[in-house]
Amino acid sequence: MMEPVKVLCAGGSDSGGGAGIQADLKAVSACGCWGLSVITAVTAQNTKGVSGIYPVTPAFIGRQLDVVLKDMGVDAVKTGMLPTDEVVLMVARKIKKYKITKVVVDPVMMAKGGKILMQKKAQTALVEDLFPLAFVVTPNIPEAEILTKMKITSLAGMKQAAVQIHAMGVKNVLIKGGHLPGNKRSGAVDILYDGNTYEFSSPWINSRDTHGTGCTFASALAAGIARGDNLVEAAWQAKIMITAAIENALNPGKGYGSVNVFGKNILTKKK
């Protein structure tokens, strides 16, 4: 029997199914990989926003990581919502213990509606303890602004922020440009920096149904890296997937809809 390519996603659960672990596993599956999960927090969430967060204890997060990694091992790890410094430190400890090198860190700091998902002390621990273990870090523009304490309003600003984050001890930095002002004219441009700069551009899609874009992109990137793609190729494939997922977005509720990696394979109700 053949062994699948395995991607472990550690993050929060989205009860609305659009982001977090649910989006991670959909993206990993759509990329042809086997998704494993470690839940760091449970949210009460729907298409209108996050109404509550219940963190999982660091000890139980550590237990989830141990039982999965001892039995199955992984080809890559993707982290998302890590709400406290104790959780960040636990995840970092296990990554070092199991000598995992293909690590994608998506620094999930706030929800689409503005709800804070990461404490200040956790942000510090993220930079000091987890960033040095990451193969690539994937902030969006608001997260890059928090990390660098600079306002990003242009492509040049994105490139400057990427250099600053790289200087924090990160091997590779990929800043997602969907929040950049003026994207409707220039398209959505992401920046990858590893000492050299690469740009990944796609046409702007005018949609408010973009819940789960960051989680989906980072998980698709992790799947590409797990398969053995080089980072540039994995980033291109993730860009292609997220663009199609936005084009095929669905709205199961009354607020913001979510990206859809399965396209027309998702059944919709007949009108």
**Burial profile 79-115: b = 16 or more Cβ within 10 angstroms, e = fewer:** bbbbbbbbbbbbbbebbeebebebbbbbbbbebbeee
Q: Residue 137: beta bridge partners?
A: 105, 173
Q: Which of 176, 177, 216, 257 is catalytic?
A: 176
Q: How far is CA 241 from the centre of its chain?
A: 14
216 flagged as catalytic:
no
Paired strand residues for 45: 50
Closest CA to 23 of 244, 269, 157, 215: 215
* Catalytic site includes residue 176: yes
Which among 213, 216, 224, 257 is annotated as catalytic? 213
Interatomic CA distance for residues 202 and 212, integer angstroms: 18
CA distance 10 to 35: 11
Q: Which of 43, 138, 215, 243 is catalytic?
A: 215
Active-site residue, from 40, 210, 216, 243:
210
The question of whether 212 is a catalytic residue gets the answer yes
Tokens coding 149: 């304490």
Q: Is 214 an annotated catalytic residue?
A: yes
Say which of 35, 214, 224, 257 is annotated catalytic.
214
Catalytic residue among 35, 212, 224, 257: 212
77: number of Cβ within 10 Å = 30
Q: Which residues are catalytic?
A: 176, 210, 212-215
